[in-house]
Every structure is written in structure tokens, then in C-alpha cells.
Amino acid sequence: MSTASIATEVSQEPETPGERPGFDEIHILWIAEGTSRDGDTVSMTAAGRSAVEDIVLGLMPGLPKVHLHDKVLSPSPGGEDHLGPFRAAARGELGPFVLVVEGSVPHQDIIEADGPNRWIDRLAPEAWAVVAVGTCATFDDGHTMTGNPTGSPTGSMALADRLGRDFTSRGALPVVNIPGCPVQPENVMETLTWLLHHAAGTAPPPPLDHMLRPQWLFGKTVHEGCDRAASPGHATFTKDHDSPKCQVKVGCWGPVVNCDVPKRGWTGGIGGCPHVGGICVGCTVPGFPDAFVPFMDEPTGGSPSSPLVKPYGAVIRRLRGITGLAAGQEPKRHHDKAEPTSGHAPHRRP
């Protein structure tokens, strides 16, 4: 594919001074050549709403035409055909593009003199937006964790650390971090969709939190969305993995980890760590995994707080039992007499 054929057009000048023009077309350059294991690419393909195929095929109204350059998902035979857009982008000849980086960035060149770190250094300053996908790229996890069995001499770092925390893209955006190990499918596609609407000029920039994560995805804790969340209030905890009770004693960090997976589920809305018997191991926060190992141990602070809640839970369970009896009583208007009655009559109310 020649450089000329992949250059994109920016729509006409703004009608009023200061108005930002939207793009008619945009490229997405997806790099997973650092220390990635492609798990986020695989995960991303499971998104049902904001599906990648809908975006690439132009089936979502209001978005620019999207050219996806991904070694797995793009219809390219590979080699120079795949690399052409990346080379053009590094020369500043591609037109607007979103650079997506999956996997942490190696400190040193792992390929002679032209490793992924060098490519990122060349591409990021030209990118309209830069997105880090997965916890390796956002916070750097497994490759520098304590006791890394690979014994990697080079180590690696998060994308925002490589580019500098004050980095802003050509679209005046900081690095957008979408953590997860792997990333939740809809989380990454929804964020990309928001960015594409912003690129089209039809949406403001996505709101990010202090860790550069989309606020609407990472504003609540796992605990707040857990379907076992009534269990701690009743002081009922499991010490095994085959129970529907709260799993904090077997290593769940949900009360302090921000993640929408329990609310959102995984493929097709099904699953979501604690919903299906998995503890939350904090895969969306910077301390992962070191801060959470050994994974099956009770979190710091769990042992004093769960005994404290026991007396409270015992009282609450009894009170709710009484309330439940009242809620389960048949109203007086339910009867088998011939004359129908309604709850409008005050003497027939419970």
C-alpha cells in the first residue's frame, strides 16, 4: 500500500474561528510488538457493542472512516504491506491516526536498533491520540514484577512513563490508559469509539481520572458492582471457593480496586470475576501484581475488619428477617370471596 493511498483528508475548515474541524477519515495503528502477549487484541474482538468490525466497516453513524492497521485483524499479507502505514506515520505523512500500544515498553532495544521503543518514540509525537491498552502498557506489570521468572535484564515501563507524564498528543490529549489483564472488551472499544466521536468533532474529549483512565469505567469499586455485596453487610464470608458468599477471606481485593467488570461482565455481559467465583486480584491498578500476591491470601486489613462487622451483621440479619416476614405477608385484599376488593379501601390495606 503506497503512502499516497493511505493519506487521509481532514474535513473543510471550521465555519467559525476557534471551532475544531472533525476528521472524515482516521487511522488506528495498533502496536503489540513490545512485551505484549496479544491478549488484549484477542479480548478486544469479543466486544459486542462498539464491535471492532462495525467500526471498521463504517456501520456506526457519526464516526470517521476508520483504517485499522493491526497485524492480526487487518486484511494485509504482512511484511512491508503491513509496515507501510507505520513508516508513513513516522515520517508524518499518514494523516490523523490513533496510536494504540498493547504491552509494556522495553527499556532497551530488543530488536537491533529498531525495537518497539524506538517505533513508539517516532510515532507518538505524530499521533492525534495515544492509547495504552492493558495493564502492561498502562502501568507495567508482569515484566518488572518481583521474581519475574524470565530474568529479563532489560525490564520495561508503562507507555506514559516512556513518553513522559506531561505528554500530549497532536489532538491535545494525554495518554489514555485502559487497564485490565486482559482489558475488558467493551472497555477498550467504547473508549476508542468516544475518541473517534471526538475526532469527528461530535464529542468532547473523554474524561480521565488521575491515573488517565476513563472516569466512567473506573469510577466505582469492584465491591460496588459485586452480586455478593450484601454478604459482607450480613457478615457472611466464605473460606472456600465454592460458595456464593463474600470471598474477601480467600483473597478478594474488590473493596479497594476500581473496575467495572462485575457490572459489565465479560463476553456478552456474562461473567465478571467475583460473579463467577473468581477473586478480584486488582488487575486494573498500578500495584498489580506485586501488591496482591500471594493471590489467595486475605487482603491487608481484611482480618481486623471482618470480625468487627460480625456483631453488626448478626443484628442486621435478624432485623432483615423480621422485615422479610412483613414483606412476604399477603395483603388483605387477596382472598377467595366472590366480591372483588382493592387496596384502595384503607381497611383492606395490610
Which residues contact ligand SF4 (rule: CB under 6 A)? 180, 222-223, 226, 228-229, 231-232, 246-248, 252, 254-255, 257, 259, 261-262, 273-274, 280-284
* E strand residue ranges, 204-265: none
Q: For ligand SF4, give the closer residue by CB, 67 or 249.
A: 249
Q: For ligand SF4, give the closer residue by CB, 207 or 244.
A: 244
CA-to-CA distance for 184 and 187, rounded, in angstroms?
5
The grid coordinates listed for 300 are 491487608
* Burial environment of residue 245 by CB neighbours within 10 A (0 to 12, 13 to 18, 19 or more): middle
How near is the Cβ of 238 to ligand SF4 at its closest, in Å?
Answer: 9
On the CB side of 252, CA atoms within 13 Å amount to 29
CA-wise closest residue to 171 among 144, 197, 145: 197
How near is the Cβ of 45 to ligand SF4 at its closest, in Å?
Answer: 17
Strands 105-106 and 65-69: unpaired
CA-wise closest residue to 249 among 290, 289, 307, 291: 307
Q: For ligand SF4, give the closer residue by CB, 37 or 333.
A: 37
How near is the Cβ of 183 to ligand SF4 at its closest, in Å?
Answer: 9
Closest chain position to ligand SF4 (CB): 254
CA-to-CA distance for 73 and 66, rounded, in angstroms?
13
CA-to-CA distance for 81 and 339, rounded, in angstroms?
81
Strands 105-106 and 156-157: antiparallel
Q: For ligand SF4, give the closer residue by CB, 129 or 281.
A: 281
Q: For ligand SF4, give the closer residue by CB, 104 or 117.
A: 104
CA-to-CA distance for 252 and 263, rounded, in angstroms?
16
How near is the Cβ of 100 to ligand SF4 at its closest, in Å?
Answer: 19
Q: For ligand SF4, give the closer residue by CB, 136 or 283.
A: 283
**Under a CB-based contact definition with an 8 Å cutoff, are residues 273 and 247 in contact?**
no
How near is the Cβ of 58 to ligand SF4 at its closest, in Å?
Answer: 31
**Under a CB-based contact definition with an 8 Å cutoff, are residues 244 and 321 in contact?**
no
Q: For ligand SF4, give the closer residue by CB, 87 or 263.
A: 263
How near is the Cβ of 71 to ligand SF4 at its closest, in Å?
Answer: 25
How near is the Cβ of 39 to ligand SF4 at its closest, in Å?
Answer: 12
Q: For ligand SF4, give the closer residue by CB, 36 or 117.
A: 36
Q: For ligand SF4, give the closer residue by CB, 210 or 344.
A: 210
Phi, psi of 9 (to 5 degrees): -100, 140
Amino acid letter, 66: V
How near is the Cβ of 285 to ligand SF4 at its closest, in Å?
Answer: 7
Amino acid letter, 137: A
How near is the Cβ of 193 to ligand SF4 at its closest, in Å?
Answer: 20
Cα radius of gyration (the chain):
26
CA-to-CA distance for 161 and 137, rounded, in angstroms?
10
